[in-house]
Amino acid sequence: MEVIIVPNAQEGSDVAARLVARQVREKPDSVLGLATGGTPCKLYQLLARMHRSDHLDFSRVTTFNLDEYLGLDPAHPASYHRYMEENFFSQVNIARGHIHIPDGLAGDVAAHCVAYERMIRDAGGIDLQILGLGSDGHLGFNEPGSSLASRTRIKTLTERTRCDNARFFTNPCDVPHHVITMGLGTIMESRMCLLLAFGSGKAQAVAASVEGPVTASVPGSLLQFHTRAKVILDAEAASLLARAAYYQWVYKNKPEWQTDL
């Protein structure tokens, strides 16, 4: 796990955008795993800007989103279909047939989850998975206690997660109780994981994920076992890390041949 600490969310998003852009340029038919929520918004804005100004080409890229609320129509203002369309897909030249997002209206949810896993495998697996981190340490919607080997499936949200996400709904009572989410086992099969966490509200979850024991109680801690995980933090999110100074020293003094950017 490489921990990259920058002063603010804008700089963190910029580092993440350069990493994603490099992946797409080096492998134009990359398979990207995408996250939603407030954290990756700036990242998607920067990638769209790179598409317009630097001709970053997404025409051969395939995407798989982490999750979707169960029961929400894709047109619902709080659905992740709508989020991705407004924040990214409508801004770049991605082929519509290459976009994959769990179907919150699936009639047979179990069969849909199996099919989603199969589509990821058939695409060759995920090259780069973008992740956010919940305030309780969840990845995707894998809440604390989730199986570390879990696959795409239905999950019940905790009240804490529902409260955290209530800001995206007109009425907090409208936040669904259930979601479809990639599992932790699915996420860990990605060739690279790129976790973004910004703000003091994520500091405790970051410290537990990066420096605590690997445990199902903190799903983000599983990334300690990933062979290529990069954790991009702003100063506030990194504020509880005991070894923050060391992580900064390592990043500043990486040998040229090891530098990703």
Annotated catalytic residue 122: no
Full DSSP string of 65-108: ESEEETT--TTSTTSHHHHHHHHTGGGS---GGGEE---TT-SS
Question: Given 51, 67, 112, 236, which residue is catalytic?
Answer: 67
To the query of whether residue 14 is one of the catalytic residues in this protein, the response is no
Q: List strand residue ranges (DSSP E) for the chain, in order.
A: 2-6, 31-34, 62-65, 67-69, 99-100, 128-131, 153-156, 178-181, 192-197, 229-234
- Angle separating helix axes 9-26 and 41-54, nearest 10 degrees: 50
Alpha carbons within 13 angstroms on the beta-carbon side of residue 32 total: 29
- Packing angle of the helix pair 80-87, 41-54 (nearest 10 deg): 40
Q: Which of 117, 143, 234, 236 is catalytic?
A: 143
* Rounded Cα–Cα distance for residues 110 and 38 (Å): 28
Respond yes or no: is residue 85 known to be catalytic: no
Residue tagged active-site, from 68, 117, 127, 136:
136
Tokens describing residue 60: 């051969």
- Residue 138 known to be catalytic: yes
Whole-angstrom distance, CA of residue 41 vs CA of residue 35? 9
- Provide the pairing of β-strand 99-100 with 62-65: parallel
Residue 228 DSSP SS3 = coil
Active site residue: 51, 98, 138, 226, which one? 138
SS3 content of the chain, % helix, strand, coil (to 5): 40, 20, 40
Question: Do the beta carbons of residue 1 and residue 226 sit within 8 Å?
Answer: yes
The residues that are catalytic are: 67, 136, 138, 143
